[in-house]
Amino acid sequence: MAYLHLPMNLLLSSLLLTLLFNSTSVAAWKSSASFPSQQLVPRPTSYIVHTLNTSRPAHILSQTEWYRSLIELLPNSQTPNATVTKPQIFYEYQTVMQGFAATLTPEEAQIISEHDGVIRVYRDQLSIELQTTHSPDFIGLSTYYGIWQESNLGDDVIIGLVDTGIWPESQSFNDSGLLPVGSRWKGKCENGTRFNSSMCNNKLIGARYFNAGAKALGFQVGDDDNFTSPRDQAGHGTHTSSTAAGSPVLGASLFGKANGTARGLAPKAKIAMYRVCWHDVCTHSDILAGMEKAIEDGVDILSISLGTSRWIPYYEDSIAIGSFAAARHGIFVACAAGNSGPRHNTVGNTAPWVTTVAAGSIDRTFTANVTLGSGEVLFGESLYFEVMNGMDMLPIISIELCYDDTLVPSVIMGKIVVCPDAWVGTGFLIEAAGGAGLISINGDPSAGETIVDESYTLPSLMLGYDEGRKLLAYLNSTTRPTARLNFDGHTIIGKKRAPQVAVYSSRGPSYEVPELPKPDILAPGNNILAAWPSEVPLSDDPIDPRRSDFNILSGTSMATPHVAGAAALLRHMHPTWSPAMLRSAMVTTALVLDNRDRTIIANENSQDATPLAFGAGHVYPQAANDPGLVYDTGFEDYVKWLCKLNYTSKQMGSFVPSPVNCSDAHSDPNWDLNYPSFGVVFKNQTRQRVVRRRTLTKVSDLPENYTARVVNLVQEKVEVIVKPEMLDFIGPFEKRGYTVEFTSKVSANASFEYGFAYIIWENEEHQVKSPVVFIWSTVPEFNSYSG
């Protein structure tokens, strides 16, 4: 798995399985991680064994005894070998699934898979992509009125995070004024390297760690730089947990940048950390173990900024499997969409029982500019901490590939160096070679004007693609180019158009099930200030000498805890609402207009963004607190939805422990999940008609009448009819159904074409808005529901 935040250097490519959004570069990861080939590991493979508990032999009294008997029947367990250790079980699962994880050879895994009652055996994998002073204000939260006051800042709601650990000494986890957690909490704080239970308090109520999977695959854990405990060695988990539920900290900043009071979205919510990542490596088995404990401990919300950068089916996806169990236990799960944008079909964590979060910008900029020898001024951003105005004009040079063999004193000493997509380590190289400054430009046109601020150590700034082209044009126009960097030290709020969808935020549709629109919602994720371990380098580069209690990171990893925190506020206000109702409330009240009352744009091209980029729009907790109507979905609905994917009985067993009869799901071709958004796939034929049904549940107090309105952005291509056009509701939690007929007026003439609409149920008090994504596809294997 992978963190879902952007590296502070560059975006991680897929390597094995990836933490969705990580701030660590592939190079840095290679230098810090210990690969199996570097040490003697007799069994460098491990497997997850998924069983059907109803198939346990009658003479065996427990699951544990059954699992041990499966291992004991293997040849190597009876005939120890000097070079091969015995197979060993290191996790048992009973909540997220029925089964165990063990060190096995491929041959042993094959033998176990042939036993009755074993659904699947699959190899444990890695995931190395780990996918706020102002962001709460930006999404409409106020200390003086509204849901923050009404929910008492999310008091007593428990947010669990499956991540890289936590730094308990951070002031963001101060428990001043907080009461002890109630008896419903079953979790604990585990002792380990530089961590003991006394470090927990009324804010940080639980902290566990899981590394047996990483150990089984041969990774070194527990060295001096990677604490064998819940303590955070990477910084990612500290940042995400404080974003979700950090206590207020006055005067928080990164060297004076973004100065203000840092607080989470739900400042009085409790935090429980489940550390599953080691040297930026997270295994499926450790993730499943962490999620299982979170469910058993009693969390209300799960925030998961992890994922995989390659497509895998739901029945092999540890996060999908674990979050299904969480939803079954009434736990709301927020997951990062991924950092593989802006290409379509890149969105991750697309299961319907999770809320998938895209990343957007906020209206804050760290201003800086460069004056060229021609007199032209180009505007960008910088986290450089010194104020510098009026410095001398210096020679400037552009280097296309900025590496240690090109950044040499004879070429760059005394000069400002222009590099495409430079990371913090590039700055170290330039500084070491005597360079006077750095300008990082977006080298890829698809990156557009997104600026992911980096905390370089030398005078530096970042330019978007257009400003970067102007700079290169100047360099090519003269034989002796010069420039001057200007830093005024200002943090500007309110002047920038926002939100904008970040270029790296992964886009829909989901390749496996395009009828399920993903991502669900947009939240602040670009340049977010939050807590940071005081002993961890800011850039996660070991040669970086700088330390701080706060750091600025970007990625869908940063967006996800915003939605988790918003869900905690709603959970406090509406404790009986299901996870689907919480999601529906946020989705149907999300904002599609920015702070200029114009459609939210995509950062890569400054064009109007679509639901494939921002889902239903930008999260707005104040409106979500009173949505009027919601789309509710239960466990049986998700099972029926899985049936529509034509999964085999064994594949269904990854989610449901007992046999499932899918005949009902296949008997109704028009059945669809009661989701708060619509996805409609049209194939080749013209006038193709697709019917979808939905049920709305009233959650407001007074009787209300609603009228349907369709905002169809592709009227020339699709006809949309809602029946009935009016719905009357009397009492709370009353339900009313409706159908929508979508009829295509054209046939598909390209691999993929997209169109969009909105179905809105409204009256004078409420507006319940659902995005619609139309897809015309000539690709035969492009999946759609079976009938």
Question: Which residues are catalytically annotated?
Answer: 163, 236, 557
Asked, as a colleague might, if the bond just before 136 is cis with ω within 30 of 0, I would say: no
Amino acid at 378: L
- CA dist 566 to 204, 500, 502, Å? 18, 20, 20
SS3 state of residue 82: coil
Amino acid at 429: L
**Strands (DSSP E) along 20-166, which ranges?**
46-51, 88-93, 99-103, 118-123, 126-127, 158-163
The Cα–Cα gap between 287 and 212 comes to 11
Largest separation between any pair of C-alpha atoms in the chain: 87
Using the structure block, give the residue that is written with the tokens 């040490």: 39
- Residue 780 class from Cβ within 10 Å (0-12 exposed, 13-18 middle, 19+ buried)? exposed
- Among 756, 747, 734, residue whose Cα is nearest residue 776: 747
Cβ atoms of 247 and 266 closer than 8 Å = no
The Cα–Cα gap between 603 and 153 comes to 32
Using the structure block, give the residue that is written with the tokens 């003086």: 144
Contacts of 726 (CB under 8 A, 6+ apart): 705, 706, 707, 708
The Cα–Cα gap between 19 and 5 comes to 9
Contacts of 300 (CB under 8 A, 6+ apart): 157, 158, 159, 331, 332, 568, 571
Helix (H) or strand (E) holding 747: none
The Cα–Cα gap between 308 and 183 comes to 36
The Cα–Cα gap between 256 and 251 comes to 9
The Cα–Cα gap between 124 and 108 comes to 14
* Number of Cβ within a 10 Å radius of residue 181: 17
Helix (H) or strand (E) holding 44: none
Amino acid at 621: P
SS3 state of residue 759: strand
* Number of Cβ within a 10 Å radius of residue 760: 17
SS3 state of residue 72: helix
Cβ atoms of 159 and 272 closer than 8 Å = yes
How far from chain centre, in Å, is Cα 28? Answer: 22
Opening angle at CA 480, ends 475 and 484, nearest 5: 70
- Residue 616 class from Cβ within 10 Å (0-12 exposed, 13-18 middle, 19+ buried)? buried
How far from chain centre, in Å, is Cα 280? Answer: 15
Helix, strand and coil percent figures for the chain, each rounded to 5: 20, 30, 50
SS3 state of residue 350: coil
- CA dist 553 to 165, 194, 235, 538, 705, Å? 16, 26, 10, 10, 45
Using the structure block, give the residue that is written with the tokens 């290169």: 472
* Number of Cβ within a 10 Å radius of residue 494: 11
Cβ atoms of 154 and 246 closer than 8 Å = no
Strands 249-254 and 257-262: antiparallel
- Among 235, 22, 16, residue whose Cα is nearest residue 126: 16
- Among 291, 285, 281, residue whose Cα is nearest residue 208: 291
